[in-house]
Structure 1
Amino acid sequence: MKDLTQRQQEVLSFISGFTAEHSYPPTIREIAQHFSISVKGAYDHLNALKKKGFLRLEDKRSRTIGIIQPPREEEPHTVCIPILGTVAAGKPILAEENWEGTVEVPRSMLKAQKEYFALQVRGDSMIEAGILDGDTAIIEKSPIAHNGEIVVALVDEAVTLKRFFKEANRIRLQPENPHFSPIYSQNVQILGRLHSIIRYYH
């Protein structure tokens, strides 16, 4: 068996983790999306892994990837993401970056080479986006955002979770609840973009 490149090792680990999590392998398109590469680029990695004896691959048909030899140093199937405090889905509230434990998230849910943190949601201004009081928001660290994305933003030393819009001379942070008004400011710092929501039922 030939040695793997770092990216081939990452692709093999992703396939292994995804298969363990879902009980079926990822599609070539899902692999391409996870690594932010083209479908052809993903197929080239799979073909290389097949030639090196690590994968079984039946042409380009969906979900026919089979692992012959697992990754040599297989990564855990879950990632512990730090919970750093509370975010307001309502009026902005002061939130210091305090470590409040961790939340485990399947590795297959996360993008490769991205950093994440979690915040506890308080308030109901984002209920029409499916975000409820008590939810745990998984945030992809990013200093920038595109119009319409849900972001964690720092406004006047307070942290809030809203939909982001850049207007002519100001930023509009839009709630998803008709009972709440938008927040307008020229001084907004983007801390990250909403990646997913975790909700526990008791």
Structure 2
Amino acid sequence: MLTTKQHELLCFVDERLKETGVSPSFEEMKEALGLKSKSGIHRLISALEERDFIRRLPNRARALEVLKLPEGGIVASAPSTVVSMAEARPAPAAAPTRELPIAANDIIEIPLHGRIAAGVPIEALEGQSSLSVPAALLGSGEHYALEVSGDSMIDAGILDGDYALIQRTETARNGEIVVALVHEEEATLKYVFKEDGNVRLDPANSAYEPQLYGPGEVRIQGKMAGLLRRYN
């Protein structure tokens, strides 16, 4: 038994494949189902995959194969029926072949602003570089990336050389990981806590001590939305 949203998504994808031969993008699926974020689409796709309604192909960007429909109809399983959101489905053998448009890749570019300390605060660098990020890692709003330097957040799974994905904001709740600008010149990545008008920045490593600042000494520049790690 599928939920209403699972049923709607599967039918939408199947209809789009029949109409254009190209699977819809995550943004198109999000808008069609009236969801607020793409993370909901990922959850629905995972649920459909677990129930054997669709299959995701490994090592291919957002490639989906529809295996069966909610009514129980089985879709023929053959290489020619496999359709990627980044690739077009081949036309049936009886019809003349034609080149189909390539769907937009679900990757976005965000600014990469130097290195940020996860130990002793260092000056945040403004650069002209950018970082390619899967859109699924980001929510709404404006984002940028910072390369992590130091080990004070290792217990939170944030390692030296990782890329912290930051959502721009000037507010944060207690316990969130934020980019905190100290004395308007140095930035650090820490847990934030507000206490009696003061701001405490906590590391995630027992080798470091919390940092306590008075009113006006710390300004929030964003909160952590995701993390990228390269293995090379």
TM-score, structure 2 normalization: 0.57
Structure 1 or 2, whichever has the larger Rg, is 2
Contact 1:85 1:96 in 2 (8 A): yes
Aligned residue among 113, 125, 138 for 2:165: 138
Q: Which sections of structure 2, spanning at least 5 residues, go unmatched?
A: 1-26, 49-68, 72-84, 86-102
Report how many residues are paired: 152
CA deviations over 1:55-83 (Å, ceiling 9, x no partner): xx959xxxxxxxxxx9xxx6541111110
Equivalence for 1:25: 45
Q: Distance in 2 between matches of 1:13 and 1:140?
A: 25
CA RMSD of aligned residues (A): 3.4
Which among 183, 186, 202 is matched to residue 158 of structure 1? 186
What's the counterpart of residue 112 of structure 2? 83
Question: Contact (CA 8 Å) 1:13, 1:75: kept in 2 or not?
Answer: no
Amino acid at match of 1:188: V
Q: Tell me the equivalent position of 1:171.
A: 199
Distance (Å, rounded) in 1 between the aligned partners of 2:132 and 2:188:
23
Query: Aligned with 1:25: secondary structure?
Result: helix
Q: CA deviation at 1:25?
A: 2.4
Partner of 1:148: 175
Deviations 1:7-31 (A, max 9, x none): 977524999xx69x97x72669xxx
Mapped partners of 2:196, 2:70: distance in 1: 52
Distance in 1 separating the partners of 2:143 and 2:108: 10
Partner of 2:137: 109
* Superposed CA offset, 1:82-128 (max 9, x none): 101111000110123222x222112223213x110000000000010
Pair 1:92 & 2:112 matched: no
Identity within the alignment, %: 40
Q: Which of structure 1's runs of 4+ aligned residues deviate more than 3 A?
A: 7-10, 12-15
Distance 1:121 1:80 in 2: 18
**In the aligned structure 1, how far is the partner of 2:46 from the partner of 2:33?**
12
SS in 1 for 2:45: coil
TM-score by length of 1: 0.65
Rounded to whole Å, the distance in 1 between the matches of 2:30 and 2:197 is: 43
Asked if the contact 2:139/2:225 (under 8 Å) is kept, the reply is no
Unaligned runs of 5+ in 1: 1-6, 29-56, 60-69
Among residues 102, 115, 118, which one is paired with 2:145 in the alignment?
A: 118
2:164 touches 2:224 (CA, 8 Å); kept in 1? Answer: yes
Is 1:191 matched with 2:221?
yes
